[in-house]
Amino acid sequence: MENASNCLAIVGATLLDGTGVVPRPSATILVEGERIVAIGDGSLEIPRGARRIDAPGKYVITGLMDANVHLFYVNTPDHLVRYEGRYEAVIAEAAQIALRSGVTTVFDTWGPRAALTVVRDQINRGERVGSRIFFAGNIIGLGGPTSADFFPIARQVLGTAEADAMDARWEQGVGADLLWCTPEEVRSRVRRYIAEGDQDFLKYAGSGHTHMQFIAFSEPVQRLIVEEAHFAGLTVQAHTTSPESLRMEIEADADLLQHPDITGAAPLPPDLLERMVKQQLPCAAMFVTQRYLDWNLKNGQQPMKSFRQIQARNDRDLVAAGARLLLTTDGGVLPPDTADHPLLSAAVLAEDSPTVLGEGHFRWLEAAAELGLSPMEALKAGTSNVAHAYHVAEDLGTVEVGKLADMLILDEDPLTDSRHYRALHTVIKGGIVIDRETLPTERVVTAALSR
């Protein structure tokens, strides 16, 4: 360890390593390059030349991980047009906003594959700053942004070929027309989708997005999608929105359930809850604070208003039963014209809206506390649980020797108050101390609009 210029030492903080063991006070964490190479107490030798961060009285946790974001979130027809040709910049900006707020890893579960690939790789190669990105591309079985599954009004204001081209960036051959296909055709289309792209994991629609109560794929078809994913070495998650679709996805052996707390007009059936807990199936539940629920009760529109209240009940049940929970926000970056936007205003005007990237994860952690999740379990939900669910725990999810050095230094103890996650002092990703003030380096979606 002669030349230690690529070394970093964090000295004196209390370490919450994310494994669930009791906090370790006055720890010294030694990073070399992008990985953690040693963890010890004050006696651990720090190489000469190493950068040293003295952090007594502070707390070190692993970088937060969000199991569900949409880095390209500007999907209404006007925004699609506005950001046309700038997909990569939009995605990079979002990855920086996430990183700035302590989310060192994001899992993008629905987005334009080509642009996501470029930005992910640029970040991985160090050419851009930003959260680590893992992405799925399309939700298998759903259409793109202008389709009936998302903003069909787009088809009233956009040229058809233009809208088709936009949708194609998401769909990539596994869009909504898959629902007409035979199992063999689905298999072949999914296989091609896997072969042609470099996505990190798969996501499929167990049920509809707009038409939440409908089932998208029969159980055999769900199984074969899971098979194809596993054959390719990918985890596969299910988009789920109704009790019976949830059952089907569990039976189909999906690796991760994306918002199993969304069950529409009926609560989570007890037998399914029991199975999820027993199998410790990763549940990416969209926790919201009571403040949000109150806003929803007052301002929400039916039927989503009722659905949200039922979801809140499911969330309480999931916590109480001991489900394996993952922090998930569905978050994205919204442009300045969102608050008075006819298609978006409700979401963004909500108090404690969970879907605001850079804020949503804090709200999730606060909501978790309100729901009775223990502080340690909440920390794991935002770190190691996500890493395990996505099969990236070898590198991520805890502060342990050999892992990638993604760490947050907090001014306050997050175990005593969930709001302390906001007391971000330093963000370290891959051994590099992030200059948060400079992020995002280029404003695209958050840029002021000319008037």
Residue 81 sits in the site that holds a copy of itself (CB under 8 A)? yes
* Long-range Cβ pairs for the range 243-249 (8 Å, 24+): 243/267, 243/268, 243/269, 243/272, 244/215, 245/206, 245/207, 245/215, 245/216, 246/206, 246/272, 247/272, 248/206, 248/215, 248/219, 248/222, 249/206, 249/222
- State which of residues 12, 63, 112, 208 lies at the interface with a copy of itself (CB under 8 A): 208
Question: According to the binding rule CB under 8 A, does residue 447 interact with a copy of itself?
Answer: no
- Euclidean distance between CA atoms 184 and 230, whole angstroms: 17
- Work out how close the CB of 97 gets to a copy of itself at its nearest, in angstroms, rounded to a whole number: 20
Query: What's the full length of the chain, in residues?
Result: 451
Q: Is 143 in the site for a copy of itself (CB under 8 A)?
A: no
Question: Considering only 65-73, 333-341, 382-390, 411-419, which stretch makes contact with a copy of itself by CB under 8 A?
Answer: 333-341
Q: Cα separation of 55 and 348, whole Å? A: 36
Is residue 244 at the binding interface for a copy of itself, with CB under 8 A as the rule? yes
Dihedral sign, Cα of residue 427, residue 432, residue 435, residue 440: negative
Q: Residue 91: phi, psi to the nearest 5?
A: -70, -40
Residue 438 binds to a copy of itself (criterion: CB under 8 A): no
Q: Are 187 and 228 in contact (CB under 8 A)?
A: yes
| List 78, 317, 411, 413, residue binding a copy of itself (CB under 8 A) | 78
> Quick one: which of 11, 90, 142, 216 contacts a copy of itself (CB under 8 A)?
216
Q: Please, what is the angle between helix 290-299 and helix 360-370, to 10°? A: 100
Q: Which range, of 150-158, 193-201, 289-297, 434-442, touches a copy of itself by CB under 8 A?
A: 150-158
Strand partners, 404: 35
The verdict on 321 binding a copy of itself (CB under 8 A) reads no
Nearer to a copy of itself, 52 or 191 (CB): 191
Q: Does 42 bind a copy of itself (CB under 8 A)?
A: no
Q: Kindly give, in sequence order, each residue whose CB lies less than 8 Å from that of residue 266, ignoring residues fewer than 6 positions away.
A: 242, 243, 310
Pairing of strands 407-410, 424-429: antiparallel
With respect to a copy of itself, which residue has the nearer C-beta, 39 or 158?
158
Least distance from a copy of itself to the Cβ atom of residue 339, Å: 8
The correct pick among 125, 298, 301, 342 for binding a copy of itself (CB under 8 A) is: 342
One residue of 155, 275, 316, 391 binding a copy of itself per CB under 8 A: 155
Residues near a copy of itself, by CB under 8 A: 76-78, 81-82, 84-85, 153-162, 165, 176-177, 179-183, 185, 208, 211, 213-219, 221, 242-245, 247-248, 263-266, 269, 271, 337-343, 449-451
